[in-house]
A and B are shown apart, each in its own frame.
Chain A
């Protein structure tokens, strides 16, 4: 109760900016203001470097909390996240007198959490049971299906839809690597083909990148990355001998329950396009930091929960805890990363002549591993366009950039989506998938364990290969 009250007070507090904010986030000018933010960052209101401190501290605590002071972290993580976020909020508000970035970030956070939350609740009312014996091939096939579905339901929707069936399929031989490869393929890498797949691509779409551009320019990279990761998974999974002696009979059937929730998912996905930037008839709710889309998602979230079959919720052990954890941690991450992103944008502007596709690839990817990948994408896109004197304000110029320098957009979009798999905090669904696995009794690796045992040996060579083949130079 205390947490909810605290959270509600914070939202009210931050929402007060909306009335004073200089940016009209939902009035059809959101795309322009994003660029203004980048320009502001590079020209005038650059925060001091020490303001990155709260962000670094939050990341460090997310990494070390569950390892070294789990009891304190488990009880107080939300207070830490919000307190560190408030340090940045106060600095921007009172010292820099810059409420624009705060309002803009609040709008992004609300969009982020509404999309994640509604997909989480709607998919929680769906039951998929695969009555087959788990083999490395069946598992790889299921991950491949997930990689495709990530482009239809988004990485969050596909993850929530498939994680339990995937775990259930492997219940007699489930190991942490199953979950981690699931995070790699379904929660991240898979979703690079459409703007629905991952938020940065959706932002690109809002800015003027054609809907099917990502598919046309990334499908072969997607194929290579997914194929290599699945091949590694196949060999790892082949060495897992547990459950081999299982002589149970399987019907081979796939059971599906909760069709109405599919309709809810479709509405949520359709509502993603309900943006004044995409459809001019969509009313703006400016100066509120949310729009019709977020309201619709919230309504679907409530309706999906209230009308869900309780047996399915029981089977899925539905709880709001995973989304609550994401909501609290990411409110801190969104707030504290404002100065970090501004400084990156500033630096990109300073160094623009020496920035190659390779640098864009590694820099946007590296930051997407620990920052939210949507603003990272916008920051680097702005930097890439600035190199050739193009302005991200103009859809025509975005399309001109897309046609003249596709490799830059390709490198940024691939890196922002793929590198999110590097850590538990690289992408929203990573944390939720981890929480679901843990509440089923599976002990997952720590923050560093994930990076050292899985990201470094599996993902980094793949990302290096992609850089070497496509973005070297």
Chain B
């Protein structure tokens, strides 16, 4: 299982298919921003988004979207606030802000927010 730091350091890509993104690390998702939607409710009773943490990856389904590639345009990004599994969720220092770029052939480029792109937490 890869850590988030390994993923960022080695530029390991995630994947996306339809409305599903697959992140190559395990993490709790606190917030997702896609288009104008700011999603913080990941419960099964809400139809915004759901995520699952498996042994080797974390997957998020954006339930309001059919095809992410069609709705997130070339220069737009998906933004996530995550806490890597095993880290203390209540320590704000562990909250990582990630920016996801949808690239060709289902590749999902993952980078940490560095102030270049506006990301209001």
**Min C-beta distance of B42 to chain A, whole Å:** 16
Interface status of A40 (Cβ within 8 A of chain B): no
Residue B115 lies at the interface, judged by CB distance under 8 Å to chain A:
yes
B36 at the interface (CB under 8 A from A): yes
A117 to chain B, nearest CB (A): 16
Question: How far, in whole Å, are A121 and B56 apart by their CA atoms in the complex?
Answer: 42
What is the CB-to-nearest-CB distance from A48 to chain B, in angstroms, rounded to a whole number?
A: 38
Stretch in A214-222, A371-379, A438-446 with 4+ CB within 8 Å of B: A438-446
Q: Is the interface of A mostly helix, strand, loop or mixed?
A: helix
| In the complex, chain A residues 306-329 whose Cβ is within 8 Å of any chain B Cβ | 310, 313-321
Query: How many whole Å from B31's CB to the nearest CB in chain A?
Result: 7
Q: Which of B79, B116, B118 has the most CB of A within 10 A?
A: B118
- A440 in contact with B120 given A71-B64, A171-B115, A321-B35 (CB within 8 Å): yes
Do residues A443 and B117 form an inter-chain contact, with CB atoms below 8 A? no
CB pair A435–B116 under 8 Å, yes or no, is no
| Residue A385, interface by CB 8 Å | no
| A-side interface size class | 20 to 34
Determine whether the beta carbon of B36 is less than 8 Å from that of A317: no
**CB nearest neighbor in B for A66:** B36
> Interface digits, B29-72 against A, CB 8 Å rule (1 contact, 0 not)?
00101011010000000010000000000000000100000000
A168 sits at the interface (CB 8 A)? yes
A439 to B79, CA, bound (A): 9
- Taking residues whose C-beta sits less than 8 angstroms from the other chain, chain B's interface range is 20 to 34
B74 CB → nearest A CB, Å = 8
Q: Which residues of B contact A441 (CB under 8 A)?
A: 31, 33, 38, 79, 118-121
Min distance, Cβ A326 to any Cβ of chain B, angstroms? 13
**Which residues in window 344-396 of A have CB below 8 A to B?**
none
- Is B19 an interface residue, CB under 8 A from the partner? no
> Do B75 and A440 touch (CB < 8 A)?
no
Question: Closest CB-CB distance, A447 to chain B, in whole Å?
Answer: 14
A174 within 8 A of B: yes
Give bound CA distance, A171 to B97, whole Å.
13
Residues of A within 8 Å of B77, CB to CB, are: 317
With A171-B118, A313-B75 as known contacts, state yes or no: A438 contacts B64, CB within 8 Å. Answer: no
Interface residues of A in 419-447 (CB under 8 A from B): 435, 437-443
Measured in the bound complex, the distance between the Cα atoms of B1 and A372 in whole Å is 57
Check A319/B75 contact, CB under 8 A, given A71-B64, A441-B33. yes
Cα-based distance from A314 to B73 in the complex (angstroms): 10
> Measured between alpha carbons, how far is A314 from B36 in the docked complex, in Å?
17
A293 contacts partner chain B, Cβ-Cβ < 8 Å:
no
A440 lies within 8 A of B118 (CB): yes
Q: Are B117 and A317 in touch, CB under 8 angstroms?
A: yes
CB of B117 within 8 A of CB of A435, answer no
Q: Which residue of B lies closest to A315 (CB)?
A: B116
Contacts of B47 in A (CB 8 A): 71
Q: How far is the CA of A386 from the CA of B119 in the complex (A)?
A: 53
Residue of B nearest to A310 (CB): B75
Q: Interface of chain B, helix or strand or loop or mixed?
A: loop
CB-defined contacts of B117 to chain A, threshold 8 Å:
314-315, 317
The answer to the question of A167 belonging to the interface, with a C-beta cut-off of 8 Å to chain B, is yes
| Residues B38 and A316 in contact, CB atoms below 8 Å apart | no
Contact status of A164 and B73, CB under 8 A, knowing A439-B35, A441-B31, A441-B79: no
Across the interface, do B73 and A168 meet the contact criterion of CB distance under 8 Å? no
Taking CB atoms, residues of chain B closer than 8 Å to A71 are: 47, 64
What is the chain A residue whose CB lies nearest that of B32?
A441
Is A319 a contact of B73 with CB atoms below 8 Å? yes
A316 and B36 CA atoms in complex are apart in Å by: 15
Give every chain B residue within 8 A of A171 (Cβ-Cβ). Answer: 115, 118-120
Give the residues in chain B near A310, CB-CB below 8 Å: 75
B120 A319 Cβ-Cβ under 8 A: no
Interface check B6, CB cutoff 8 A: no
A residues less than 8 Å from B73 (CB atoms): 318-321
Q: Are A314 and B35 in contact (CB under 8 A)?
A: no
The chain A residue with its CB closest to the CB of B71 is A321
* Given A439-B33, A443-B38, A316 and B121 contact (CB-CB distance below 8 Å): no
- Beta-carbon contact of A164 and B75 below 8 Å: no
* CA of A441 to CA of B119, assembled, Å: 6
Residues of B within 8 A of A438 (CB): 36, 38
Q: Are B36 and A174 in contact (CB under 8 A)?
A: no
In the complex, A279 Cα to B35 Cα: how many Å? 43
Nearest B residue (CB) for A435: B36
Bound: A164/B117 CA distance, A: 10
Per CB-CB distance, the 5 closest pairs between chain A and chain B, nearest first, are A441-B120, A440-B118, A438-B36, A441-B33, A442-B120
Binding site for B on A (CB under 8 A): 71, 74, 164, 167-168, 171, 174, 310, 313-321, 435, 437-443
| Apart from the given pairs A174-B120, A318-B73, 16 other A-B contacts in the complex at a CB distance below 8 Å | A71-B47, A171-B118, A171-B120, A313-B74, A314-B75, A317-B76, A317-B117, A319-B76, A435-B36, A439-B35, A439-B76, A440-B33, A441-B31, A441-B38, A441-B119, A442-B38
